A = this chain, B = another copy of it.
Amino acid sequence: MKRLALVTVAAAGLATALPAAAQFQKPEDAIKYRKAAMTVMANHFGRIAAMANGKAPFDATAAQGNADIVVMMSKLPFAGFVEGTASGETKAKPEIWSEPDKFKNATTRMQDEVVKLNAAARTGSLDQIKIAVGDVGKSCKACHDNYRKE
């Protein structure tokens, strides 16, 4: 557990270096922020996934650039899941706050998988990118299945 906690802190980096609640003036600001960060992350992951799925031509340089963005974005949304933001314009399930360790594990898994995706993108091998895209996708789905309302 200690090791996991350290990995989490390292992966989350700056975003958790400040008290999260202090970063947002109102609950709706936190909700808007985390959704925005997810939107940007999903878009850039989607561009790599499109290459992996043959829906876009493979461009190794673009895949690397997009993977860099995904890694940075992966650190951001979770500072927005502060207490008092379970209602409003959000699909967040209350389990995010009732089982915080499990939620953190799920987010850390995604953060670890996108680091692997970035490494795969740097090999320039579409086959390796395909595998990593699949693993990232599974980590997204696992967290959404448990912590996001339909």
Contact = CB atoms under 8 A, between A and B. Distances in A.
A65 B17 contact: yes
Chain A binding surface SS class = helix
Indicate the member of A32, A36, A61, A65 with the most B CB atoms within 10 Å: A36
B65 A13 contact: yes
Contacts of A17: 61-62, 65
A33 interface: yes
Interface in A92-149: none
Nearest to A38: B36
A22 B56 contact: yes
A52 to B, nearest CB: 16
Indicate the member of A14, A29, A65 with the most B CB atoms within 10 Å: A14
- Which 4 A-B pairs rank lowest in CB-CB distance, beginning with the nearest? A14-B65, A36-B39, A36-B36, A36-B40
